[in-house]
Amino acid sequence: MVYTRGSSDDFDLWGKVSEDRSWSWKTLFPYFLRNEKLVPPPGGRDASGQYDPQFHGTRGLTSVSLPWGGPTDFDRLAIKNAEQNKEIKFNLDVNSGKPSGLVWVQSTIGNGERCSAAVGALGGKVKERPNLTILLNTQATRVLPSKESRQLDVRTVEIVSVSSGKKTTVTAKKELIVSGGAFGTPHLLLNSGIGDKKELENVRVKSIHHLPDVGKGLSDHLAFLVSWSANDVVRPVDTVAAFEEWQTNRTGPLTGIGIHQLIFARIPPDAPLFKEHRDPAAGPNSPHIEVVVLSVGPRILASVGLMTPKSRGTVKITSNNPLDQPLIDLGYLTHPFDLLAFKEGARIAKRWYEGPAYEGYITGFLGPDPDTLPENEFDNTLKAGAGPSWHPVGTASISPKGAKHGVLDPDLKVKGVKGLRVVDASAIPYVPTAHTQAAVYVLAERASDLIRASW
């Protein structure tokens, strides 16, 4: 998966939102290094000039590498275009805290295979640890308060075997750490009676702790495609040969996601939308827009993603059966800023491909074009074609210690509850201007130190 951390401002914002400056790019940077294991691209090609080693760790759990192939002719065109471009320059490393520019893609791939958390953190001998039990096909249905304690103390989890339906409880000596993700964590808390009291009563769940923001503030990235016709041919991958190559050497086109370069860009400060709307970017280092740089033969496809959405969604429950699915409203495009920003994103992509390096290569813009289509038509095309980037965060957000809003104190403990902590994307208050796995890894790395210190 694409490995991008986001901007230094994104992480400084966590500190501002939680009034705890120990959440900052400066404090978190060593944790990025601690988590990362930068490895050569599959096949071992020399990737120097495509990243900056000073921003990378080499001994962590998560393997990160540059693409197997490249630079291709198309990659070189982009580099040349950036040399002549005033708006978008070549940026040696997307993960320096200043991601804007044309960058080489880094991915969580090691030895030609995906390095997920299941591989990096739980692979090898970790699973053999005597103090680790992994229950498969098991759903945590509720967290339960202790009957003895006068203060709300939650250290017991109720779990159900998905196959047999057998229910049991497990009680932690120190604390429960919930990591169900931006959908699973609020789902579990709400099923347990931790959420908005009235909303819980409406679905006949007994409230044990009124915490109105559980499941609120969902923030995700959305993207849509713009395309160009190009003076090029399709170069189909021989998938049989590619599979054989991967099986034999763990190299070849199947080792990657097929994208070599990305653009991260800011909407110009004089764009008309900023007359109506406050700039949501966390600071000058945070790009508003991501553009995927991809040629598929006679077409150039640019997935244009809005990195700084203002729209918010929710995660709710509709019954008191914890095995029912949560009701997720992603809230996409509900804030008028987002549609306007997407138009600016399409314009950024248009300006990029109007650059001199693409002369003779690009033969036409296929749209959708915000400058020629009637406004409604552009909006409708975008709404029909846009898709999620799968980066949800914010449904159990951190906030200042003792604040009535938010769900977690800055130490990731559930507000007003003893024994219960959340470590996952739901804690992140605003979606970073990046793909989100690195932000989740860095949150988890720091959380491990917070937990160790408090135990």
Ligand X SMILES: Cc1cc2nc3c(=O)[nH]c(=O)nc-3n(C[C@H](O)[C@H](O)[C@H](O)COP(=O)(O)OP(=O)(O)OC[C@H]3O[C@@H](n4cnc5c(N)ncnc54)[C@H](O)[C@@H]3O)c2cc1C
Please report, in range form, the residues annotated as the binding site for FAD: 390-391
Instruction: Give whichever of 18 and 433 is closer to ligand X, judged by the CB atom.
Output: 433
CB 70, min distance to ligand X, A: 18
CB 393, min distance to ligand X, A: 7
Instruction: Give whichever of 100 and 219 is closer to ligand X, judged by the CB atom.
Output: 219
Q: Does 1 bind ligand X (CB under 6 A)?
A: yes
Q: Does 262 bind ligand X (CB under 6 A)?
A: no
Binding to ligand X (CB under 6 A) within 22-81 occurs at none
Which residue in the set 188, 214, 267, 422 belongs to the binding site for ligand X (CB under 6 A)?
Answer: 188
Q: Does 181 bind ligand X (CB under 6 A)?
A: yes
Residue number closest to ligand X, CB atom: 184
Q: What is the total count of residues that contact ligand X (CB under 6 A)?
A: 19
Which residue in the set 365, 424, 430, 431 belongs to the binding site for ligand X (CB under 6 A)?
Answer: 424
Which residue in the set 437, 442, 445, 446 belongs to the binding site for ligand X (CB under 6 A)?
Answer: 437
Which residue in the set 23, 307, 436, 442 belongs to the binding site for ligand X (CB under 6 A)?
Answer: 436
Give CA 238 to chain center in angstroms: 32
Instruction: Give whichever of 339 and 438 is closer to ligand X, judged by the CB atom.
Output: 438
Instruction: Give whichever of 178 and 362 is closer to ligand X, judged by the CB atom.
Output: 178
Instruction: Give whichever of 306 and 340 is closer to ligand X, judged by the CB atom.
Output: 306
Which residue in the set 41, 101, 112, 180 belongs to the binding site for ligand X (CB under 6 A)?
Answer: 180
Which residue in the set 24, 27, 72, 139 belongs to the binding site for ligand X (CB under 6 A)?
Answer: 139
Instruction: Give whichever of 219 and 437 is closer to ligand X, judged by the CB atom.
Output: 437
Instruction: Considering only the stretches 18-26, 53-61, 247-255, 431-439, report the one whose residues sit in contact with ligand X under the rule CB under 6 A.
Output: 431-439
Instruction: Considering only the stretches 178-186, 193-201, 215-223, 311-319, report the one whose residues sit in contact with ligand X under the rule CB under 6 A.
Output: 178-186
Q: Does 391 bind ligand X (CB under 6 A)?
A: yes
Instruction: Considering only the stretches 95-103, 182-190, 347-355, 373-381, report the one whose residues sit in contact with ligand X under the rule CB under 6 A.
Output: 182-190
Instruction: Considering only the stretches 33-41, 176-184, 285-293, 413-421, report the one whose residues sit in contact with ligand X under the rule CB under 6 A.
Output: 176-184
Give CA 17 to chain center in angstroms: 19
Q: Which of 187, 288, 391, 405 is catalytic?
A: 391
Which residue in the set 34, 155, 312, 435 belongs to the binding site for ligand X (CB under 6 A)?
Answer: 435
CB 82, min distance to ligand X, A: 23
Instruction: Considering only the stretches 177-185, 241-249, 311-319, 366-374, report the one whose residues sit in contact with ligand X under the rule CB under 6 A.
Output: 177-185
Which residue in the set 123, 390, 404, 454 belongs to the binding site for ligand X (CB under 6 A)?
Answer: 390
Q: Does 223 bind ligand X (CB under 6 A)?
A: no
Instruction: Give whichever of 8 and 191 is closer to ligand X, judged by the CB atom.
Output: 191
3-state helix/strand/coil string of the chain: CECCCCCHHHHHHHHHHHCCCCCCHHHHHHHHHHHEEECCCCCCCCCCCCCCHHHCCECCCEEEECCCCCCCHHHHHHHHHHHCCCCCCECCCCCCCCCCEEEECCECEECCEECCHHHHCCCCCHHHCCCCCCCCCEEEEEEEECCCCCCCEEEEEEEEECCCCCEEEEECCCCEEECCHHHHHHHHHHHCCEECHHHHHHCCCCCCEECCCCCCCEECCEEEEEEEEECCCCCCCCHHHHHHHHHHHCCCHHHCCCCCEEEEECCCCCCCHHHHCCCCCCCCCCCCEEEEEEEECCEEEEEEEECCCCCCEEEECCCCCCCCCCEEECCCCCCHHHHHHHHHHHHHHHHHHCCHHHCCCEEEEEECCCCCCCHHHHHHHHHHHCEECCCCECCCCECCCCCCCCCECCCCEECCCECEEECCHHHCCCCCCCCCHHHHHHHHHHHHHHHHHHC
Q: Could you tell me the two tokens for 340?
A: 């306007």
Alpha carbons 227 and 298: distance in angstroms, whole number: 10
Q: Could you tell me the two tokens for 319?
A: 């019954």
Alpha carbons 361 and 352: distance in angstroms, whole number: 13
CB 178, min distance to ligand X, A: 8
CB 183, min distance to ligand X, A: 7
CB 179, min distance to ligand X, A: 5
Closest by CA position to 7, among listed 288, 342, 410, 411 = 288
391 as an active site residue: the answer is: yes
Closest by CA position to 35, among listed 455, 450, 440, 452 = 440
Q: Could you tell me the two tokens for 145?
A: 């308060």
Q: Does 425 bind ligand X (CB under 6 A)?
A: yes
Alpha carbons 338 and 357: distance in angstroms, whole number: 30
Q: Does 106 bind ligand X (CB under 6 A)?
A: no
The amino acid at 269: P
The length of the chain is: 455
Catalytic positions, written as ranges: 391, 435
User: Using CB under 6 A as the criterion, which residues of the chain lie in contact with ligand X when the complex forms?
Assistant: 1-2, 139-140, 179-182, 184, 188, 390-391, 424-425, 435-438, 440
